[in-house]
Amino acid sequence: MTDKQVSELLGQRVPTFDGEPPDWMDVMRRVRVHRRRRTTLAVVIAAGFVLMLPPVGLAERLVDWFHGSPATPEVRKAIERPDDVPQPVFELLRQQPGVDASRATGVLQIETSRGPVRLWSAPSEDGGACAFIEVGIQDGRAVGSEACHPPIRSDRMQISADLRPIDLRLEENGLIFAIVFGWKAGIDVEIAWSDGSRSRLPVTDGYALAEVKAGVDPIAASAVRGKRILSTLSLVPPQPIPTPPASAYRDVARATTFDGRRVTLSVASSDGKPCEQIEVSGTSGSSASGGCGDMSGPMTVNSDLDAGVLFGRVTVPAKKLRIRFQDGDHADVSVTSGVFLSAVQPPHLKSGHLPTRVEALDSDGKTLATAAVRGG
Amino acid sequence: MDAGELERVYVNNLPAFRRVAAAITGEREAGCDAVQEAFATAVRKRRSYRGDGSIEAWVWQIVVNTARGSRRRSDRRARVNVDAAVQAPACTSAFAIPLEVLTGRQREIVFLRYFADLSYDEIGRILGIAHGTVAAALSGAHGALRQAMQEAPG
């Protein structure tokens, strides 16, 4: 039998899907109810539940075994350079904020319905740390999600928590990741679930990690000591804000990226919330991204990693914005309709020269607000 | 990129997406579900599309990855018959195709080549491997299938 015959035979065996029409509405329904849709997932992880560490004696042994262990080369590589981030934009990403991957160590590990998940932490230049949640290994590199944060040692007790993928290939948010700032021994994390139940998680070095229960949504995460709640954070996602039609957007700023692509920042509003859209046009076509939402402070700074662009919104009455760089340089950017756009150019896309923060200045040069530049 | 562009890709290429996803998952229903879920993922993640390749190739990556995930879950439940989703049309040869002799990567390349009619370059981009690797894997797949079919009784 020749290769050609094998090819023909395979060609004859093509499965058909006649009589099964497209169902784009179903796709969009899955988009809308993604977080709630666990019908398939519930079957897969029918035995899924929050896996707390075993009773005290064994738990301590497990924590002791992993806690403080040096990170594997795969994890160090992942922390040093996340996947799919092109140079030189990666240099901009490293701005979050100079993590020392060589000092990454193990914090805690849990068993999940999809295998072990490990949490590592590496110190960052600003005195904080970057936590890396390892959910697997692919092509010699650990895969997972990262979160850089200020120092956990703090006088102010505050819990930070969000949902993270348990399987990056599926991007299912199957993990609860919590950081307790101001953490001390004796403080646990408690998760409240939509079925009325509660789960208590042990905290190691201020971190807690758990798998989401199958078919039940996490409602809130709290830092607790005994029965006393010290800090609570809602885990219920905000209602999605409808995306305005393209015609509703108004162009407010333009820039050219380091590699010659055109960037346009446009704004609109939806349900009273400000919306921003960045469109990047090059020889290979154009792509647009954006979103709508409330302002969480006087100034937000976003970055488009692919284009090396900084953009954001300012609510204080700033005359101009000043971007500060690692090498002491600065660049001034104008504010139009409360938003700004700046394409970072060489040499400020390389380590040692990267943008570090954006300052909002009034007409006298007084600083009204400051925001750190983060990749993302 | 807006959802409308993804809908266009969906409508224009749906049979191919379903064929490949069904072949990878080993189940027709799971394949269809994987395609729906993959496009939902694509809509949610469309911001991450960087425009440095075709939208189709980007979506194919998501479809293949989603189908792989579906297959892994099925594997945990029960061993699946990879050949089961590959229906034999009425005019087919009497030969059974022993796809189980292929490696996972060989199978995916075979499916993308014959069920989606993609070029070596397109397959390479989807799977993140070089053109030559695609050619070599396909050649190896042909050899393995040829040998298995020749050795098969009857």
Nearest Cβ partner for A6 among B11, B14, B145: B145
Q: Which residues of A touch B (CB under 8 A)?
A: 1-3, 6-7, 9-17, 20, 22-24, 26-28, 30-31, 34, 40, 44, 86, 167, 169-171, 246, 280, 282, 284-290, 306
Q: Per this entry, what is the length of chain B?
A: 154
What six digits make up the tokens of A242? 């409808």
State which H helix or E strand residue A12 sits in.
Answer: helix A3-12
Q: How far is B103 from chain A (nearest CA, A)?
A: 16
Chain B residue numbers with beta carbons less than 8 Å from the beta carbon of A27 are 7, 10, 36, 39-40, 43
Nearest CA in chain B to A169: B65
Chain B residue numbers with beta carbons less than 8 Å from the beta carbon of A288 are 1-2
Amino acid at A283: T
- Among B73, B147, B150, the strongest candidate for a mutation testing the A interface, having the largest count of A CBs within 10 A, is B73
Chain B residue numbers with beta carbons less than 8 Å from the beta carbon of A138 are none
State which H helix or E strand residue B58 sits in.
Answer: helix B55-77
Nearest Cβ partner for B142 among A6, A11, A288: A6
Nearest Cβ partner for A169 among B36, B69, B89: B69
Chain B residue numbers with beta carbons less than 8 Å from the beta carbon of A174 are none
Neighbours of A51 (CB within 10 A): 16
C-alpha to C-alpha distance for A106 and A347, rounded to whole angstroms? 36
C-alpha to C-alpha distance for A300 and A79, rounded to whole angstroms? 25
Q: Are A346 and A88 in contact (CB under 8 A)?
A: yes
Distances in whole angstroms, Cα of residue A55 to Cα of each of A64, A108, A179, A236: 14, 15, 22, 30
Residue A301's SS3 state is strand
Q: Are A324 and A356 in contact (CB under 8 A)?
A: yes
Task: Examine the pLDDT at A106 and tell me if it is beyond 90.
Answer: yes
Distances in whole angstroms, Cα of residue A221 to Cα of each of A151, A159, A162, A179, A330: 20, 8, 9, 10, 40
C-alpha to C-alpha distance for A12 and B86, rounded to whole angstroms? 10
Q: How far is B107 from chain A (nearest CA, A)?
A: 11
pLDDT tens digits along B132-146:
888 888 888 888 877
Residues B11, A12: C-beta atoms closer than 8 Å: no
C-alpha to C-alpha distance for B27 and B67, rounded to whole angstroms? 10
Q: Which of B120, B108, B15, B99 is nearest to B65 (CA)?
A: B108
Task: Examine the pLDDT at B152 and tell me if it is beyond 70.
Answer: no
Nearest CA in chain B to A33: B40
Nearest Cβ partner for B92 among A7, A12, A167: A12
* Structure confidence at residue A3 (pLDDT): 59
Q: Which of B65, B18, B87 is nearest to A21 (CA)?
A: B18
pLDDT tens digits along A24-51:
888 877 776 544 333 223 222 322 323 3
Residue A221's SS3 state is strand
Q: How far is A289 from chain B (nearest CA, A)?
A: 5
What six digits make up the tokens of A256? 């050219």
pLDDT tens digits along A177-224:
999 999 988 899 999 999 999 999 999 999 999 999 888 889 999 999
* Structure confidence at residue A168 (pLDDT): 64
Q: Are A249 and A277 in contact (CB under 8 A)?
A: yes
Nearest Cβ partner for A1 among B65, B66, B150: B150
pLDDT tens digits along B92-130:
333 356 677 788 788 888 888 888 888 888 888 888 788
Q: How far is B121 from chain A (nearest CA, A)?
A: 17
Q: For the ranges A80-89, A183-192, B42-51, which has the lowest average pLDDT? A: A80-89
Q: Are B138 and B118 in contact (CB under 8 A)?
A: no
Q: Which of A292, A304, A301 is nearest to A262 (CA)?
A: A304
Which of B100 and A356 is assigned the larger pLDDT? A356
Amino acid at A209: L
- Among B17, B43, B105, the strongest candidate for a mutation testing the A interface, having the largest count of A CBs within 10 A, is B43
Choose from A163-172, A204-213, A271-280, B19-28 the range with maximum mean pLDDT. Answer: A204-213
Q: Per this entry, what is the length of chain A?
A: 376
Q: Which of A246, A274, A6, A180 is nearest to B114 (CA)?
A: A6
- HEC-encoded secondary structure of A157-175: CEEEEEEECCECCCCECCE
Q: Are A91 and A351 in contact (CB under 8 A)?
A: yes
Q: Please, what's the b/e burial string for A314-323 (b: 16 or more CB within 10 A of its CB; e: otherwise)?
A: beeebeebbb
**DSSP code string of B95-151:** ----GGGS-HHHHHHHIIIIIS---HHHHHHHHT--HHHHHHHHHHHHHHHHHHHHH
Q: How many degrees, rounded to 5, is the angle at CA A360 between CA A356 and CA A366?
A: 115
Nearest Cβ partner for A15 among B23, B40, B142: B23
C-alpha to C-alpha distance for A155 and A347, rounded to whole angstroms? 39
C-alpha to C-alpha distance for A310 and A342, rounded to whole angstroms? 5
Compute the radius of gyration of chain A from its Cα atoms. Answer: 24
- Ordered strands of the A188-193 beta sheet: A198-201, A188-193, A218-225, A228-234
Q: Which of A16, A73, A23 is nearest to B92 (CA)?
A: A16
Chain B residue numbers with beta carbons less than 8 Å from the beta carbon of A13 are 86-89, 92, 97
Chain A residue numbers with beta carbons less than 8 Å from the beta carbon of B33 are 40
Q: Which residue has the tokens 């998760």?
A: A191
Q: How far is B124 from chain A (nearest CA, A)?
A: 16
| pTM score over 0.95 | no
Chain A residue numbers with beta carbons less than 8 Å from the beta carbon of B88 are 12-13
Q: Which of A203, A212, A218, A202 is nearest to A54 (CA)?
A: A202
**What interface predicted TM-score (ipTM) does this complex get?**
0.79
Chain A residue numbers with beta carbons less than 8 Å from the beta carbon of B85 are 15
C-alpha to C-alpha distance for A238 and A219, rounded to whole angstroms? 12
Q: For the ranges B47-61, B84-98, B135-149, which has the lowest average pLDDT? A: B84-98
